[in-house]
Structure 1
Amino acid sequence: MSYDQLSSLETGHGGGGGGSGYSDDPQFSRVAQDLENKLFRLASNMSDLRKELSRRDTPRTRERIHNLLEETKGMFQSAGEGLKNLQTWEDVTSTQKYKQQKLSRQLKESLQSFQSLQNQAISRQRSQIAESRAAAVSSPPTSSAGLHLHDDGGHLQLQEQQQLEQQQELSHLAPQDDVDFQDALIREREDEIRAIEQGVGDLNVLFQQVAQIVSEQGEQLNTISDNVEEVHTATEGADFELRQAARYQKNARSKMCCLLIILAVILTIIILAVVLA
C-alpha cells in the first residue's frame, strides 16, 4: 500500500498536542518550514560548488571552494539539529508523519550529494599537489651563462669580483626560492585536504544518524501499513459475511413466502371442499 493511501486511511487519527487530526500543530509547521528552507539553501550552495569545481584552478577558485565547503558543512549541521527536533514531536498526525519522512529522506539525499562533492574537492587538490611536485622536480636550475671573469693582465679587478660573487649567490638563491614557494603551496593544499577530510568525518556521523532515522521511519510505516492492511482485510471479510447473511435472510424470506402461499392454497382448497360438500 502506498503512503498516500495510508495517509488517507489514517486521516483524523492522532494530533499534535492532543489536537484533531484535521489540523497541524503551528509550531511543528514552523520547524518543518525552516528545515525545508535550509534544504533549499543547501541545494543552491551545492550547485555553486559544482560550478566552482568545474572551473580552472586559481587561488580565487580555491578560496571560493573552501568557503562553500565550510559554509555548507555548517548548514548541514544546523539542518541535522532541525531534523532531530522534528523527530521528537509526539502524537503527530498522518500528515506530519509524512512530512517527517519526506524531510528525512531529502536530507539524507543531500548529504550523499555533498559527500560526493567533498570527495571531488579532495581528488582535485591531490591531483594539483602531484602536478606541483612534478613541476618542482623537473624545473631546471637557473643558468649562470653569460657570467664571465675578466682577466686584466692576469689580475681581477675588485669591483668585478664583487659583482661576480653577487651574481653567483643570486643564481643559487633563485631556484631555491622557487622550490620553497612550491613547497609552501603544497603544504597549504595538504592543509586544505586535511580540513576537507575532517569535514567529511564530521558529516559522516550526521549521515549515519539521518540514515538511522529514515530506517526507523520505514519500519514504523511498514508496521502501520501492515495494521491497515489487516484492518482492510478484516473489513472486506466482514462485508462479505454481511452480504452472505443478507442473501441467506433474503432466501429465507423467499422460502417463507412460498410456504405461506402453499399453505394458503391448501387451506383454500379445504375450505372449498367443505363448502361444496
Structure 2
Amino acid sequence: MSFDRLSSLEAQTPSSTGYSDDPEFASLTSSLSSRLFTLTSNITQLNRQLALVGTKKDSEVVRGRVTRLLDETRAGFRDVTEGVKRAKSWEDPTAAMKYTQEKLQNQLTAAMAEFQSAQRLSAEKTRQYVAATKRQIHEQDEERYTDEGEGQQVPLVQQQVQRAALAEQSEVDFQESLIVQREEEIRDIERGITELNDIFRDLGTMVSAQGESLDIIETNIATVAQDHKAAHLELRGAAKYQKSARNRMCCLLLILAVVLTVILLAIFLG
C-alpha cells in the first residue's frame, strides 16, 4: 500500500473518541495505529513460518510465505514511517497530540526492532539451506567419482564425461536453481536489513532534533523564570522603599502636627 492510498484511508477513518482538537491529525494517527497492528500481526505470522524452516514441515510453500511476508512487511514499514514523520511534524500540537506522537513513534520503533530480528533469522536459515544444498551436491559428485573409480583407473577426462553422463542432471539443475534463488533472497533480506537500519537512523535524528528543540524551550523557560524572579525582587524592593517613604512621611506629618499644636497653644495662652 502506498502512502497516497494511506492518505485516502485517513479521510475515511473516524476519530475513535468522537472528539479531537484536530480531526485530520486524529484520522492520520488512527490509520497509522491500524497499520502498525497489521504489521505486528505480519511479524507474528512470519515468526511462525520461520519456525518451520529447516524442519520436516519445511517446503517451498512455507518459504514462499516467508518471502511474501518479508516483502509486504518491509513495504508497510516504509509507508508507516512516512506517516509517523508527518504526524511528528504536525504544527501546534496539543498535549494530547504530543502523547499520541510519542506513542506512535515508540510502537513503530518496537515493531521495527522485532521485524529486524525476524529478517536476520530468515537470512541465517536461508544461508544454512544454501550451504547444506551445496554440500549435498558436492557429496553426490564425490560419491559418483568414487563409484566410477572403483576397479579400474580411468583417465581424468573420461571420469568427468562418465560423471556427467551418470548424474541426474535434472535434479542437479533444480538444486542449483534453488541455490541461485535462495542467494537472491539473502541479498533481498540484507537490503531490507540495511533499509530498516536507515529508518532507525532517521527516527533517531528526528528524536535528536526534537530533543534540541525541547532543550531550547527549556532554556527559554529557565530564562523567563530567572527574569520573573529578578522582577519579583525588584518589585519587593520597590514596595519596601515605598513603605519606608510612607513611614517617613507619617513621621514628618506627626512632627508638623506637634509643632503646629505648640504654636497654637502659645498663641492662645499668651
TM-score category, normalised to shorter length: 0.5 to 0.7
2:4 aligned residue: none
2:32 aligned residue: 35
Could you tell me whether the CA contact under 8 Å between 1:101 and 1:217 is conserved in 2? no
Could you tell me whether the CA contact under 8 Å between 1:87 and 1:100 is conserved in 2? yes
Partner amino acid for 1:36?
S
1:37, 1:259 → 2: CA distance?
80
- How many corresponding residue pairs? 230
By relative contact order (CA 8 Å, sep 6+), the higher-ranking structure is 1
2:125 aligned residue: 124
CA offset at residue 108 of structure 1? 4.3
CA offset at residue 79 of structure 1? 0.9
2:167, 2:260 → 1: CA distance?
137
1:158 aligned residue: none
Change beyond 3 A, Cα 1:218–1:105: farther
Q: Tell me, yes or no, if structure 1 residue 235 matches structure 2 residue 232.
A: no
Larger radius of gyration: 1
Partner amino acid for 1:68?
L
2:252, 2:49 → 1: CA distance?
92
1:98, 1:221 → 2: CA distance?
15
1:244, 1:49 → 2: CA distance?
71
Change beyond 3 A, Cα 1:231–1:47: farther
Q: Of residues 20, 40, 45 in structure 1, which corresponds to 2:42?
A: 45
For residues 89-100 of structure 1, what are the structure 2 equivalents within 5 Å? 89-90=90-91, 92-93=93-94, 95-96=96-97, 99-100=100-101
1:260, 1:48 → 2: CA distance?
93
CA offset at residue 49 of structure 1? 3.2
Specify the SS of the correspondent of 2:119: helix
Sequence identity, in percent? 41
CA offset at residue 210 of structure 1? 3.7
Could you tell me whether the CA contact under 8 Å between 1:28 and 1:86 is conserved in 2? yes
2:242 aligned residue: 249
1:80 aligned residue: 81
Partner amino acid for 1:222?
D
Change beyond 3 A, Cα 1:242–1:38: farther
Partner amino acid for 2:31?
D
CA offset at residue 116 of structure 1? 3.5
For residues 89-238 of structure 1, what are the structure 2 equivalents within 5 Å? 89-90=90-91, 92-93=93-94, 95-96=96-97, 99-100=100-101, 102-104=103-105, 106-138=107-139, 141=143, 172-173=166-167, 179-238=172-231
CA offset at residue 187 of structure 1? 2.6
CA offset at residue 78 of structure 1? 1.8
1:150 aligned residue: none
1:242, 1:62 → 2: CA distance?
77
Q: Deviations over 1:3-39 (max 9, x none)?
A: xxxxxxxxxxxxxxxxxxxx72211221122122222
1:89, 1:268 → 2: CA distance?
77
TM-score computed with the length of structure 1 as normaliser: 0.63
Partner amino acid for 1:73?
R
Specify the SS of the correspondent of 2:68: helix
Could you tell me whether the CA contact under 8 Å between 2:53 and 2:63 is conserved in 1? no
Specify the SS of the correspondent of 1:24: coil
* Worse overlay, 132-141 or 37-46: 132-141
Could you tell me whether the CA contact under 8 Å between 1:108 and 1:211 is conserved in 2? no
1:46, 1:194 → 2: CA distance?
20
1:66 aligned residue: 67
2:14 aligned residue: none
Change beyond 3 A, Cα 1:99–1:49: same
2:175, 2:88 → 1: CA distance?
50
1:237, 1:128 → 2: CA distance?
73
2:17 aligned residue: none
Structural RMSD (CA): 3.8
2:238, 2:71 → 1: CA distance?
70
Specify the SS of the correspondent of 2:71: helix
